[in-house]
Amino acid sequence: MLYVYVILTFLVSFIITPFIIKLSKKLGIVDKPNERKVHSRDLPLLGGLAIFISFLIGVLAVSPDHVVHYSLLLGSLVIIVIGIIDDKYEIRASTKFIGQLVAAGIVIFFGDVQVGYINLPFGGVLDFGFLSIPITFLWIIGVTNAINLIDGLDGLSAGVSAIALIAIAGMAFIMNDIYVLTIAVLLVGSILGFLPYNFHPAKIFMGDTGALFLGFMIAVLSLLGFKNITFISFIVPILILGVPLSDTIFAIIRRIVNKKPFFAPDKAHLHHCLLKLGFSHRQTVILIYSISAMFAMFAFIFSMTTLWGSILLITIVLLLIELMIEKIGLIGEQYKPILRLIENIRYSITRNR
């Protein structure tokens, strides 16, 4: 029966997005082109509102029951308001951060969402104690901004979010977590209804309104689905969110290496690097979709394998990530330690023949 409500969110999102486009233009909430952006004309920015409204209608229709439910909706409303204000006035990063702290605090303190402990793979328990709340804040705000940071190409952030939510829904189904499954698939329906207007060439962007909202929801749902269990379960959401999290981490590393502020914008994110390599706009987006799907597949395999199989899989994933960032220059053009090592080994073998 849940599929009926997913279809409902899809249809509502698909139907109201053209009206949101008109509203966004009327209010002057548009994204203007500049040297960092790939579009060449003003585009409406309130697409996230269409996703939120359709999702809210789906939630009201289903009426799911969970201790975190109302705090989750209230927190998401705070995020939506902050996003709309930012899309209109481009508020300071510190102001957005305060809004995210408030939203995260609502679900942490009123919804009792916390990462309390992890059962370690070789026995014992890692109890976070007083660090539980700071770690939970860090996760929610980190994932929220990670989704926002990859929102650089038509349909990119929406598609990657949909893939992550499908993976979370799949895990929730396996774990019989009806609430997380319900919220995740309703969000997927809302995103898919919006995506035809957002895919290249986009008629509307979801803006910070949508990117922050989806990031916040993904962050909280992943905590609800995988908190307080095993080390393997702790790694699963990190794998599911492999693309946005790795892009964010390497952006931080890149800015440290180049001695730039953390919030300083640049054109060296994953999608920028792929465009520089000669991929078209659509090819870049589809390639990142594929990488996201691969991470989701790794997450499912990781959750079902043995401990040593998990360790082997993590080693392979980390090696693949390292090779990818070196190949495309995600940290910098000169950062290629493993590729240089492979080249030196190849040169030594060739010379000794």
How confident is the model over 16-36, as pLDDT tens digits?
A: 999 999 999 999 898 876 555
| Other beta carbons less than 10 A from residue 194's beta carbon | 28
**Cα of 133 vs its chain's centroid, Å:** 21
Contacts of 223 (CB under 8 A, 6+ apart): 113, 115, 136, 139, 140, 237
Mean pLDDT within 264-269:
65
List 43's β-bridge partners, or say none.
31
How confident is the model over 168-182, as pLDDT tens digits?
A: 898 889 888 899 999
Mean pLDDT within 4-25:
96
Q: Judge whether residue 236 has pLDDT over 80.
A: no
Could you give the CA distance from residue 191 to residue 210 in angstroms, rounded to a whole number? Answer: 10
Predicted pLDDT at 184: 95
Mean pLDDT within 146-155:
83
86 marked among binding-site residues: no
Domain ranges of the chain: 2-351
Q: Do the Cβ atoms of 51 and 83 come closer than 8 Å?
A: no
Q: Judge whether residue 348 has pLDDT over 70.
A: yes
Which region holds residue 124: left if phi is over 0, alpha if psi is between -120 and 50, else beta? Answer: left
Q: Taking the model in full, what pTM does it have?
A: 0.85
208 marked among binding-site residues: yes
Q: Judge whether residue 99 has pLDDT over 90.
A: yes
Could you give the CA distance from residue 229 to residue 236 in angstroms, rounded to a whole number? Answer: 11
Window from 20-24, 120-124, 136-140 with minimum mean pLDDT: 120-124
Could you give the CA distance from residue 352 to residue 117 in angstroms, rounded to a whole number? Answer: 53
Higher pLDDT, 320 or 80: 80
Q: Judge whether residue 293 has pLDDT over 80.
A: yes
The residue to which tokens 């060449």 are assigned? 40
Long-range contacts of 58-62 (CB under 8 A, 24+ apart): 58/5, 58/6, 58/8, 58/9, 58/12, 58/186, 58/189, 58/190, 59/183, 59/186, 61/5, 61/8, 62/2, 62/5, 62/182, 62/186
List 44's β-bridge partners, or say none.
30
Q: Judge whether residue 4 has pLDDT over 60.
A: yes
Could you give the CA distance from residue 178 to residue 30 in angstroms, rounded to a whole number? Answer: 38
Predicted pLDDT at 227: 59
| Other beta carbons less than 10 A from residue 312's beta carbon | 12
Could you give the CA distance from residue 146 to residue 249 in angstroms, rounded to a whole number? Answer: 9
Higher pLDDT, 43 or 118: 43
Mean pLDDT within 125-138:
83
How much of the chain, in percent, has pLDDT values that exceed 90?
A: 38
Q: Outline where the chain has alpha helix (H).
A: 2-27, 47-62, 69-89, 93-109, 132-149, 156-174, 178-198, 207-226, 231-240, 242-257, 270-276, 281-304, 307-328, 337-351
Whole-number average pLDDT of the chain: 84
Predicted pLDDT at 230: 52
Distances in whole angstroms, Cα of residue 331 to Cα of each of 66, 258, 266, 323:
42, 9, 12, 12
Q: Judge whether residue 268 has pLDDT over 70.
A: no
List 118's β-bridge partners, or say none.
126
